Structure 1
Amino acid sequence: MTACVRPDCVGSYGPEGYCDECGRRAPVGNAGYVGLPPGGGAPVSDGSSASAGSTPSAAMTRGTASSSGRTGTRGTGRGRLGGGLLDVPRMPRRDPTTAVLADPQVPESRRYCATCGRPVGRSRDGRPGLVEGFCTNDRTPYSFRPALDPGTAVAGRYEVLGTLAYGGLGWIYLARDRNVGDEVSDRWVVLKGLIDSGDADATAAAITERRFLVEVDHPAIVKIYDFVSHPDPRSGDRVGYIVMEYVGGRSLRDIYLDQPVVGGARQPLPLPHVIAYGLEVLPALGYLHERGLLYCDFKPDNVLHADDRITLVDLGAVRRIDDDVSAVWGTTGYQAPEVATVGPSASSDLYTVARSMAVLSFDFRGFSTAYLDKLPGPETVPLLEREESYYRLLRRATHPDPARRFGSAAEMTEQLLGVLRQVLASDGVPRPNVSAQFTGERRAFGTRAGQVDADATAHQTRPGAASVVAGLPIPQVDPADPAAALLATVQTADPDVLAEALSTLGSTGVEARLAVVRARLVSGDVATARTELAAIERVGDDWRLDWYDGLVALAEERFGDARQAFDRVYDALPGELAPQLALAATAELVGDGETARRLYERVWRTDHAYVSAAFGLARILAGADDRAAAVAVLDTVPESSSHSVPAQIAAVRARLGAEPTRLAESELLDVSTRVERLGLGVERRAWLTVETLRAALDWVRAGNGGAGRVLSHTLSERELRFGLERAFRVLSKVAADQETRIGLVDQANSVRPRTWF
């Protein structure tokens, strides 16, 4: 790339012809500039106004602020969309000089009287509607012509080039800032004015914008530079204009509309791309919420994608959280149902993000009619059936009860990122992450198939409920809880001692009491754990209490209750793997193999730290006689894992688990190779040798034959019996007591082939 020619700039020109540091365009003829073709690129949406379809609501109530996990100042570098987990195609920035409309018009369908709300300027008797005139109902004058002509100098500074677009609150103009520019490039800005200066709601919204929008400074939100006024050419009244940065790119709506139509249905955007957009938008909304602001009218039209950056535009509907006077703007199909009666809130902002993601990710027909305030189910949308976690995230974010939605943009972002990891892991590459909500597995459960001993018959059995309870992750201690610091220092597992210590020190909050419940479960005192858990006051939907409800029910083998409790946690935390692991184990315990398989598979493909999921998935597959798939799963347990060798032992048993008549010679040879390369001790190797040679002997006795060798023995009954005899004699030498030793010698003698010696 070619270095920027601007003095003191260390950037360089990208393929679109703009500097990656100062953002200025390369001068014509510069070697590093690759210009866009005339008229090429993508249409430009408005910089900041209410978009088409936005309507005001009568509700004027106070919302609640929430926090976001990301704040900061503007910068030129944004990084890749999707947190670096995927590559979203870059969207070229459009040359602003090619973006103006040749014939700017307001569609007749959007022409209404500002006073009475009745249609105006409509066609009649084959004649087009007037763009200027008077309402026939109340004689209010109207005009839908752009007020600024090309060449007009607004406030003596901003030279209008033309009209870019129009929205629910105003015309959008492209202008050149005469006061900022040099011989290298111009600074292009966007001006927003009112469609009709007689619209009281629109005027009030513009006045409100003057108060606080210049203070908004976030890399994913369009920047407001200035507020200026200019005489209206028709009335002479001074009209206000907002001056904001020019964002050359395409709206998410336009990107979606570019998708091909197949079988009468428009193809959605790839789900990972949709989630990546959501992950960029949510911190921007969280930034507004932290500053006591609500966006109110989020939708795909209001997000521009340019280069590898998305920008939230159309700030015309932004209002203060405590504003109970001005009109609330929103768009049918996106706006939360409670806004019309109780007003907007941070929760209703998050609702609009989820609805927008739904519109972009599947064929959401009827989203503004039949599904105005609900989602279609997985039974009608294959994507929602396939991506269960994504469906649950949308379902929580759009819950009819605002209190049941995500509590903040940061919380929704965290769960959405977890969902993205699950979606991307379907390509076979794990996307692990350290959870902020759960510990890892305390110990792997269901790994019996990886143990080597005399009881080979128990190797493929399901794990016991107690072992699942002991192995499942547990919720992380809330660092904001008063007892958090104390719990980090208490070093006792005795529940009575722990309860007394916490009580003495005055720690009686939820985390302290859950610590005691946890200690009771570990000690096996499940009845007392249940009693103490029931005594904790439940405020709202605390998923931690649901989690412990599930653990207690599982320990008492009340599998139906456990399943319901873990399902509630999954609903609350769709991006977490722990509740899915718990649901998988519970489903397996009640014999629901299909659900267990699906959940085990999702957990394991996403994060290989959950070894219990690998063994569980292999167990389900082997039980369904899909031995090859079971072995393939166990082979993905990393060699660095402490369960690598047990996984290989389990793979051996998965191969040998078939009926002798269904075993293939290649499977026996594979088992032989696996056993030989395992670095097992004498006793464990001998027991695994016994299992392998017995299976080979049964295979031969079933009438099969082959030229291969299994553990150095030819596939003949005589050789295999000699091998078994030797293995039993090795075991007898390391037996722990005389009785066991005698039994093993007897087994050696019983398998020995008949000879003359």
Structure 2
Amino acid sequence: MSLPPLPSQDPLTLLMEKAEVPERKRHCPHCDTKVTRTKGFCGQCGQEYNFEPSLKTGDIVNGKFEIKGPVAFGGLGWIYLGWDKVLNRWVVMKGLLNTKDEAAAAAAVAERQFLAAVKHPKIVGIYDFVNNGNEGYIVMEYVGGKAVGSILKEKGVLPVEEAVSYILGILPAFSYLHANGFVYCDFKPENFMVEGEDVKLIDMGGVRKIGDPSGDIYGTRGYMAPEASDDPVEVSDLYTLGRSLAVLIMDFKYMKEYESSLPTPAEQPVLAENESLYRFLLRATHQDPDQRFQSADEMADQLYGVLREIVALKTEPKPAESQTFTSDNLFDADDVAGAEQVDVRLLPTLKMDVRDPAANELLRMAAVSNPEKRVAALEYVADKFGEKSPEARLRLANAYLGVKKFSDADKLLDQLHAEDQFDWRVSWYRGKSLIARNDGRGARIEFGKVYFEMPGEIAPKLAIAYAAEIAGDYEEAARYYKRVAKVDPNQTTACFGLARCLNKKMDINGAMEALTAVPAQHSLFNQARIALAKLLLHDEKGLNESLLEKAAETIESISAEGGVVHHLAGRLLASTVSLIAGGRVKEDRNAQLLGHQMHPFALRKGAEEEFRKAAHFAESHLEKIGWIDMANAIRPRTLL
């Protein structure tokens, strides 16, 4: 992940030409009534207000900070650019309080001293807290970049990849704040900056301690989580990150019509084009805090997966190991059935939750391959740990599926759901259970729940494709298979599944392209080439010279030895004989096909040899007789 670099700029260029708060932003700080003058007394509540900067160019604060002028007006007052005359560095000074009481100003500064402990490379540095008469200020590091909000105003909505990269870049700052007991409260595009090739969180004036009943709460309409006005917590911050990402990629009325919701994909093409991103935003900005991402790290992990998919669909595969799922389980080179049909055993496996109290005992059971013995062993562990170990019972439910004890699995999963309705793993195993019973529609619903929770993961999308194919919805199945195969073609069940679905839709070229996506180093490469050769030869009437050459090239690329390979070679040579006889392919003694001259005698002899070789691999006497009959039927006729 890289961010578009921005050139550094002269700090003095940030100074406001006219230090004046726009009239539309003038509201009484006490009762929020709109006022027109820059200072005076509110006609509604009678309290004094003042929107004029109290510090002038050249003022010296605390004996060392020389004021250069205002750069912005924020929620807490004016923000100034200053020069530290002692340490010779630029600083930014942000007002904490504007009051007639110097003691109150000193108290306000003291209350914010905890910010001095906040030190992170992606968070603006806090240098000092100072008083100047009846006002208090935070003295902060000057960040020589540009606010993302300013970039948005200049360029309009941002490319999805750029916007996602900005949010991904700032998430570690929130992980740090939350781990240290703080919430930021008022995140929005204006409050983080691009500096060089990185982003940095600025404006720490609204930061507060989690669970602190005292102090003001700051937020911005259109960004603020519904619960944040009473008690902002970690997920309240994550809500603001989701809303900010939405604002960066879409032009919509986020402060009015969509203050508490998102546009639909039908309204915003960017959401229709990036389904996983839309799913991510739905969860990030859910009105129920329990439905959102529960940590900045979890949010970052899923958003990174979403970005990988977005980039891969436009460029080239971007495989990466998941922290939650294994790859699919199609890795046996001889697993012909797995390549030819949907099979629940091939779905990715959920990785072990190592924090579970039964994790060590469960890991030791990996060596138990007998399904019945595995069930018995897991029943023992599940009974031993009881409700303390969800992992043991989830693994037991999965083992029940392996021996077709579906009612036992359902009962166990229902019990787990009753204990924790937010454990999406229950939906994963329910989906597997329904796949095993060929209920594609039911499985689609369960896997959809997993997709909501894990929008950056490949596994739920692959599972949805399985379910759709079983349900006969080849259009949807192909769409999800294609997405998975584009991101990571090592998930070969996606490549084979896509080929099957496109073949059902009579898109033979698309099916062949799907099979060619299987990586050459993968154990299923030969199976993919065999399937490709079968597709090329499936309709002799449609064969031409180009397809013959491609079929020959495909067969020659198969490194495995077996009857099916010799059968395909024999079919190709025999089909070419028919094409020459029908005048659709020219006889050419100077050309070769699979090492045989392109004339009927040589091609017949080659086909005979291939069918006889196939007979050596026959698994039954009847099959062997069939190959020999084919060899005899195609062999060249002579006078002797």
> Who is 1:175 aligned against?
82
Tell me the residue number matched to 2:240: 352
The superposition leaves residues 383-424 of structure 1 with CA deviations (integer Å, 9 ceiling, x where unpaired) of 111111111000011112111111111111110111111111
Q: Verify: 1:725 aligned to 2:600, yes or no.
A: no
SS in 1 for 2:139: strand
CA-to-aligned-CA distance 1:680-735 (integer Å, 9 cap, x gap) = 32634322213323443554566522345433456666654444333223333454
Q: 1:258 aligns with which of 147, 154, 168?
A: 154
Q: Given the alignment of the two structures, is residue 106 of structure 1 paired with residue 21 of structure 2, yes or no?
A: yes
Q: 1:243 aligns with which of 133, 139, 142?
A: 139
| Aligned residue identity for 1:88 | L
**Residues 205, 427 of structure 1: CA spacing in aligned structure 2 closer, same or farther, 3 A cutoff?**
farther
The residue aligned with 2:204 is 315
Residue 637 of structure 1, CA deviation: 2.2
Distance 1:656 1:242 in 2: 75
CA distance in 2, matches of 1:680, 1:591: 33
1:92 corresponds in structure 2 to 7
* Residue 219 in structure 1 maps to residue 121 in structure 2: yes
Correspondences of 1:127-138 after superposition (within 5 Å)? 130-138=37-45
2:552 match: 672
Alignment partner, residue 392 of structure 1: 279
2:426 equivalent to 1:540: no
Letter in 2 for 1:747: M
Partner secondary structure for residue 137 of structure 2: strand
Query: How far apart, in 2, do the equivalents of 1:398 and 1:173 lie?
Result: 33
Which aligned pairs between 1:195-214 and structure 2 lie closer than 5 A? 196-197=98-99, 206-207=108-109, 210-214=112-116
CA deviation after TM superposition for structure 1 residue 367, in Å: 1.3
Partner AA of 1:396 in structure 2: R
Measure, in 2, the Cα distance between the counterparts of 1:627 and 1:500: 48
Residue in 1 aligned with 2:68? 161
What's the CA shift for 1:602?
Answer: 1.4
CA RMSD of aligned residues (A): 2.7
Residue from 329, 333, 348 that aligns with 2:218: 329
2:362 corresponds to 1:487: yes
Distance 1:696 1:588, change over 3 A: farther
2:84 alignment partner, SS class = strand
- Residues 346 and 408 of structure 1 are in contact (CA less than 8 Å); yes or no, is this contact kept in structure 2? yes
* Aligned position for 1:749: 632
Instruction: Tell which deviates more after alignment, 684-693 or 242-251.
Output: 684-693
Counterpart residue number, 2:531? 650
Structure 1: tracts of 5 or more residues without a match: 1-84, 123-129, 181-185, 232-237, 260-265, 452-457
User: In the TM superposition, what whole-angstrom CA distance separates every residue of 1:319-361 from its partner, at most 9, and x where no partner exists?
Assistant: 2211223332211111122334x43221111111011101111
Tell me how far apart the structure 1 counterparts of residues 313 and 62 of structure 2 sit (CA, whole Å).
56
1:660 is the counterpart of 2:540:
yes
> How far off its partner does 1:645 sit?
1.8
Query: CA offsets, 1:436-470, max 9 Å, x none?
Result: 1112222359x99x95xxxxxx9995x14xxx211
- Amino acid corresponding to residue 424 of structure 1 in structure 2: V
Q: Which amino acid aligns with 1:224?
A: I
Contact 1:483 1:507 (8 Å CA) reproduced = no
For 1:498-527, what per-residue CA distance to the aligned partner results, in whole angstroms no more than 9, with x for missing partners? 134315644552111112122222334334
Amino acid of the structure 2 residue aligned with 1:390: L
Which range moved further: 564-573 or 699-708?
699-708
C-alpha separation in 1, matches of 2:129 and 2:360: 50
Distance 1:698 1:208 in 2: 93
Cα pair 1:298 1:353 within 8 Å, conserved: yes
The one of 696, 699, 708 equivalent to 2:576 is 696
What TM-score results when the alignment is normalised by the length of structure 2? 0.92
Distance 2:338 2:219 in 1: 60
CA distance 1:198–1:559, change in 2 (3 Å) = farther
> 1: distance between equivalents of 2:339 and 2:602?
28
In structure 2, relative to structure 1, the CA distance for the partners of 1:282 and 1:736 (3 Å cut) is: closer
1:729 aligned counterpart, secondary structure? helix
Tell me the CA shift for residue 639 of structure 1.
2.1
* Structure with the higher helix share, 1 or 2: 2
Counterpart of 1:190?
92
Aligned residues: 630
Verify the 8 A CA contact 1:660 1:702 in the aligned structure 2. Answer: no
The structural deviation recorded for 1:254 is 0.9
Deviation at 1:740, TM superposition (A): 3.8
Q: Which deviations, in whole Å up to 9, do the C-alpha atoms of 1:630-687 show, x marking residues without a partner?
A: 3333333222211122222222223223x33333310111111222343332634322
Q: Offset of 1:749 from its aligned partner?
A: 2.7
Q: Are residues 1:426 and 2:333 paired? A: no
1:44-55 maps to which residues of 2 (within 5 A)?
none
Separation of aligned partners in 1, 2:21 and 2:96: 13
2:413 corresponds to 1:526: no
* Inter-CA distance 588–158: structure 2 relative to 1 (3 Å threshold): same
Contact between 2:495 and 2:515, CA under 8 Å: does it hold in 1? yes
Secondary structure (helix, strand or coil) at the match of 1:436 reads: coil
Residue 327 of structure 2 corresponds to residue 440 of structure 1: yes
1:193 counterpart SS class: strand
- Secondary structure of 1:258's aligned partner: helix
Alignment map for 1:563-712 (pairs within 5 Å): 563-657=444-538, 659-681=539-561, 683-697=563-577, 699-700=579-580, 704-707=584-587, 709-712=592-595
Contact 1:171 1:195 in 2 (8 A): no
- Aligned CA distance change for structure 1 residues 139 and 755 (closer, same or farther; 3 Å): same
Tell me: CA distance 1:582–1:190, structure 2 relative to 1, closer, same or farther (3 Å). same
Question: Residue 310 of structure 1 aligns to a residue in which SS?
Answer: strand
Instruction: Check conservation: 1:114, 1:199, Cα contact below 8 A.
Output: no
- The residue number in structure 2 matching 1:36 is none
TM-score normalised to the size of structure 1? 0.78
Q: Confirm or deny: 8 A CA contact 1:482 1:507 kept in the other structure.
A: no
